[in-house]
């Protein structure tokens, strides 16, 4: 995607944006938003050139919109074919990105919806039927396979709700519990499955696709962050770890927007100046990307190193923050 930057206004746009017209000598072309941001230009608020959905296939948004519009719907391969999708391709993508098929995902989604209804007082039979299960016995069998317990034995403390959130750098997976956000990772991060396993073991809870009121707050604040209007997040977090990890993650949250610190700086901040390597490991173990800003930590010589979401994302985030910080100061 070619982008046009206006040296007079300091913004960059997509080629077809009405704001992209510039006088001779004042325009600059960029091949990516990352390059434009690194050069100090701000994204246009009209054409929103950052909203690229880089990690998502083009069919995903329409499909997930259908799922969210009717979470109780039972999906079949024919339904995908009606939408012009290849069921095998959809299945492969979901296995690669979520570790389960699309049909398994939607089934878990229905289980999650039923669990939420039961937790709010809906009778089990009524919740099962409302979410498309043929009978209460079928629902109980499916529920027990996931939770290891019957519906009546599972309370709100047993669940972490999982959903996707679109960002300019691709989809992220967020996990939310009543106590706060406990997971925010890029969907294709290789370590995502490991992070889910560690979080499940540490918190002793089950992950289920579903909605939670806090998710809308996460989406709203992430949108504002990428638009450049938010510097500090106010989302409650639940980030359990070792005492050392939690000290590192607290230190990361103290790094100002648009600033960078070295691993040695973070080690000194937590009074463990000799634990630079351990700080690096804790930085990599951060399960809440962007909001706990591990992308702001670099090598002592300023080189960008070690970012689970990919170094190109780290470079993008730092360039975006520095461009916005310069503009707002």
Which domain CATH number covers 282?
1.10.10.10
What does the pLDDT read at residue 15? 79
Residues 38 and 62 in one domain: no
Residues 10 and 59 in one domain: no
Beta strands 180-186 and 172-177 are antiparallel
What does the pLDDT read at residue 24? 46
Residues 34 and 70 in one domain: no
CA distances from 99 to 92, 93, 139, 203, 309 (A): 9, 9, 22, 21, 18
For residue 28, which phi and psi values (nearest 5 degrees)? -135, 140
In the predicted model, residues of the chain with pLDDT beneath 50 are: 24, 52-53, 329
Q: Is residue 208 part of a domain?
A: no
DSSP string, 174-232: EEEETTEEEEEEETT-TTHHHHHHHHHHHHT-EEEE---HHHHHHHHHHHHHHHTS-SS
Residues 98 and 16 in one domain: no
Phi-psi category of 23—alpha, beta or left, where left has phi over 0 and alpha has psi -120 to 50? Answer: beta
* Cβ contact 181:218 at 8 Å: yes
What does the pLDDT read at residue 264? 95
Domain count, the chain: 3
Residues 18 and 73 in one domain: no
Residues 245 and 316 in one domain: yes
Residues 73 and 28 in one domain: no
Choosing from 112, 132, 154, the residue where a domain stops is: 154
Q: Is residue 20 part of a domain?
A: yes
Q: Is residue 177 part of a domain?
A: no
Q: Which two tokens stand for residue 100?
A: 């389960």
Residues 117 and 71 in one domain: yes
CA distance 24 to 27: 7
What does the pLDDT read at residue 329? 47
Domain that holds residue 314: 238-328
What does the pLDDT read at residue 84? 94
Residues 313 and 285 in one domain: yes
CA distance 110 to 217: 23
Residues 71 and 142 in one domain: yes
Phi-psi category of 210—alpha, beta or left, where left has phi over 0 and alpha has psi -120 to 50? Answer: left
Q: Is residue 194 part of a domain?
A: no
Give catalytic status of residue 294 as yes or no. yes
Q: Is residue 118 part of a domain?
A: yes
Radius of gyration of the chain (CA): 22
Choosing from 154, 185, 214, the residue where a domain stops is: 154
Q: Is residue 169 part of a domain?
A: no
Place of tokens 């989302």: 235
Q: Is residue 324 part of a domain?
A: yes
Residues 63 and 13 in one domain: no
Residues 58 and 39 in one domain: no
What does the pLDDT read at residue 60? 85
Q: Is residue 14 part of a domain?
A: yes
Choosing from 126, 154, 182, the residue where a domain stops is: 154
Residue 132 sits in a domain whose CATH number is 1.10.10.60
CA distance 138 to 136: 5
């Amino acid at each position: 995607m070619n982008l046009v930057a206006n040296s007079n206004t300091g913004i960059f746009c997509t080629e077809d944006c009405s704001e992209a017209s510039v006088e001779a000598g004042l325009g600059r072309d960029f091949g990516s938003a990352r390059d434009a941001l690194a050069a100090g230009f701000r994204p246009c608020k009209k054409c929103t050139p950052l909203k690229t959905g880089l990690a998502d296939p083009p069919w995903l948004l329409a499909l997930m919109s259908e799922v969210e519009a009717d979470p109780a719907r039972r999906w079949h391969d024919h339904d995908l074919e009606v939408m012009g999708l290849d069921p095998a391709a959809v299945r492969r993508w979901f296995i690669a990105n979520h570790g389960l098929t699309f049909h398994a995902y939607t089934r878990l989604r229905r289980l999650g919806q039923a669990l939420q209804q039961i937790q709010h007082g809906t009778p089990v039979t009524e919740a099962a039927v409302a979410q498309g299960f043929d009978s209460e016995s079928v629902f109980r069998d499916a529920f027990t396979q996931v939770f290891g317990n019957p519906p009546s034995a599972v309370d709100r403390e047993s669940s972490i709700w999982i959903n996707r959130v679109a960002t300019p750098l691709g989809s992220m997976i967020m996990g939310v519990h009543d106590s706060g956000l406990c997971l925010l990772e890029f969907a294709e991060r290789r370590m995502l499955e490991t992070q889910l396993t560690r979080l499940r073991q540490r918190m002793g809870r089950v992950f289920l696709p579903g909605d939670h009121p806090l998710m809308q707050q996460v989406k709203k604040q992430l949108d504002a962050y990428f638009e450049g209007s938010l510097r500090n997040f106010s989302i409650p977090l639940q980030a359990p770890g070792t005492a050392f990890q939690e000290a590192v993650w607290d230190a990361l949250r103290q790094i100002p927007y648009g600033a960078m610190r070295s691993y040695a700086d973070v080690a000194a901040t937590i009074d463990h100046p000799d634990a630079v390597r351990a700080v690096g490991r804790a930085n990599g173990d951060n399960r809440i990307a962007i909001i706990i800003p591990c992308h702001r930590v670099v090598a002592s010589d300023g080189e960008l190193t070690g970012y689970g979401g990919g170094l190109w994302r780290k470079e993008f985030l730092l360039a975006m923050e520095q461009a916005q910080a310069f503009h707002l100061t």
